Amino acid sequence: MISPLSSLTVPWSQDMLIDGNLVRGESTDCIVVENPATEETLIEVPAASAEQVGRAVDAARRAFESEMWKDRELRRKVLLTMADTLEENADVLTASIVHEVGTPVSLARSLQIGEPIALLRAFAELTLVDRDRPLGIVEGPVRSDAVITYQPSGVVAAIAAYNYPLLFLATKLGGAIAAGCTTVLLPSPQAPLSILLLARLLQQADLPPGVVNVIFGGADVGQALTTHPDVNKISFTGSVDVGRMVMAQAAPGLKRVALELGGKSPSILLPEAGINALTEQVHARYIRNAGQGCSSPTRILVHESRYHDFVDRSREALNSLVVGDPWDTTVVAGPLISSRHRDRVEGYVSRAVDAGGTVVAGGGRPDMPRGWYMNGTLVGNVTNKSEIAREELFGPVGVVLPYSTVDEAVAIANDSDFGLAATIYGDPSAAKALAPRLRVGTVMINGWIPRQDKAGGGFKFSGMGREIGEEGVREFLETQFVAWPEPLG
């Protein structure tokens, strides 16, 4: 069924939000945003000039230093207003996501609107948590009392990837505002429109000026933002290569950095796991959003005795997971973000085949007149050492890897530069016992469980720092130790 939202006219905005005002970018650079399903230009957006980046940071600095922003109740209200604004404009923002990212409409609604609303409301409550930790009296050498307190990091530069724009807005701005920071958000030039639209709606919602600023542009704007002397903390979501650059840019100013980077996550099907019931779910989890998810479990580890059953069942599963028009409510995966990106992902598959691998299920492109589509694809007859099993494709491609013992499955799972997430299917207590052996930031047992108190983030090349929940607030806090002499009572 085609969603009625497909006929909604989205009032695109080209404006940024600086110090409470909507302003057009003054750089001579203009970035074209395209609809990946239709290949049409949606709109061109002028980028921020270096001077405008500075104005946004100055506004955030002034707001951070104002007395009003120390008021937790005000910050809680700001977060609730952001959640309400998303909720009241859910239809138009869902439509905007479908147009610019190609996310299927049902997923856009749940993960890009519903989840950000829930996260912002959870962060609103975390604003009120008293985190002070009294240490108590110590007798010597000076009789004293002390407390550990937590102070906001300051001005936060939040930089987002293209795949889930509104989700990243909620995780980054939610944690930062709950902690008492102010923010300058830079959306991805590949998918900025939903965030620019929300920025306009937030301007109408009358947030205190300077607490949320949204700027726009490419790598040069990102560089100007991350090297600005008045930015204290950088919260970045994106690729490993750009993450490294951001860290290097932050180094001279010794800025705090949180990096949410890529993944090559395993799904471990324990020997006794019910393959018939699970196979479709295992594939659906990584092909959704056309595989453009950081935690996509694209390395599927199956016991060698079940390998052929799994491959057979995968043929049916990948046929039944529909790839196509993102406005169709039954579709699981829409297009990839750009033709260049699809070429890149297809390049990995053809190199794997040239090296002896086989497309054992799915593969190819769906029959669509336009759009950067690709079918879900499962590659077999490769090892965990092959390029396709080691690098992040960010596309709807999985590899199936046999193992002989559970210890070997753990070794294969850990043999990766990445460490973002793992899913284990099978007996829950056996799975729980395996979790501490996996070098990853998130372990999901028998399916993906969304929670607003999770601590998302990775080991190894998957990044540093955590987002969401209490850890997601602490990421934006500095620890302060306060001690004083206590006279004998």
* 386-405: contacts with ligand NAD (CB under 6 A): 392, 394
Residue appearing with tokens 């079918």: 375
Measure the CA dihedral 36/38/44/50, to 10°: 0
Closest CA to 444 of 336, 290, 314, 282: 282
> Per rule CB under 6 A, is residue 237 in the interface with ligand NAD?
yes
Minimum CB–partner distance for residue 177 and ligand NAD (Å): 19
> Per rule CB under 6 A, is residue 262 in the interface with ligand NAD?
yes
Contact stretch for ligand NAD (CB under 6 A) within 23-31, 243-251, 321-329, 352-360? 243-251
Closest CA to 460 of 429, 428, 421, 424: 421
Distance, in Å, from the CA atom of 188 to the CA atom of 182, rounded to the nearest integer, reads: 20
> Per rule CB under 6 A, is residue 222 in the interface with ligand NAD?
yes
> Per rule CB under 6 A, is residue 226 in the interface with ligand NAD?
yes
Q: Which of 38, 66, 239, 414 binds ligand NAD (CB under 6 A)?
A: 239
Closest CA to 191 of 165, 157, 156: 165
* 403-432: contacts with ligand NAD (CB under 6 A): 420
**Do residues 127 and 120 lie in contact, with contact meaning Cβ atoms separated by under 8 Å?**
no
Closest CA to 373 of 104, 94, 166: 104
Residue whose CB is nearest to ligand NAD in the complex, by number: 222
Minimum CB–partner distance for residue 134 and ligand NAD (Å): 35
C-beta closer to ligand NAD: residue 325 or 467: 467
Size of the residue set binding ligand NAD (CB under 6 A): 30
Residue 140, token pair as written in the block: 């010597």
Which ranges in 251-338 belong to alpha helices (H)? 275-287, 307-320
C-beta closer to ligand NAD: residue 226 or 279: 226
Q: Which residues pair with 236 in a beta bridge?
A: 159, 259
Contact stretch for ligand NAD (CB under 6 A) within 235-243, 304-312, 348-356, 382-390? 235-243
Distance, in Å, from the CA atom of 366 to the CA atom of 297, rounded to the nearest integer, reads: 22
> Per rule CB under 6 A, is residue 69 in the interface with ligand NAD?
no
Distance of alpha carbon 11 from the chain centroid: 25
Backbone angles phi, psi at 485, to 5 degrees: -70, 145
Please pick, among 115, 294, 346, 475, the residue that the annotation labels catalytic.
294
Backbone angles phi, psi at 117, to 5 degrees: -60, -50
Residue appearing with tokens 């909620």: 170
Q: Is 181 a catalytic residue?
A: no
Which ranges in 3-107 belong to alpha helices (H)? 50-65, 72-88, 90-101, 105-107
Q: Which of 8, 242, 270, 368 binds ligand NAD (CB under 6 A)?
A: 242
* 160-189: contacts with ligand NAD (CB under 6 A): 160-163, 186, 188-189
Q: CA angle at residue 56 from 75 to 151, to 5 degrees?
A: 40
Q: Is 115 a catalytic residue?
A: no
* 437-476: contacts with ligand NAD (CB under 6 A): 458, 463
Residue appearing with tokens 């983030």: 457
> Per rule CB under 6 A, is residue 339 in the interface with ligand NAD?
no
Please pick, among 115, 260, 392, 467, the residue that the annotation labels catalytic.
260
Q: Which of 218, 253, 271, 366 binds ligand NAD (CB under 6 A)?
A: 218
> Per rule CB under 6 A, is residue 223 in the interface with ligand NAD?
yes
Q: Which of 175, 238, 297, 326 binds ligand NAD (CB under 6 A)?
A: 238
DSSP 8-state symbol, 67: G
Q: Which of 60, 122, 294, 422 binds ligand NAD (CB under 6 A)?
A: 294
- By annotation, the residues acting in catalysis are 260, 294
Site residues (CB under 6 A) for ligand NAD? 159-163, 186, 188-189, 218-219, 222-223, 226, 237-239, 242, 245-246, 249, 260-263, 294, 392, 394, 420, 458, 463
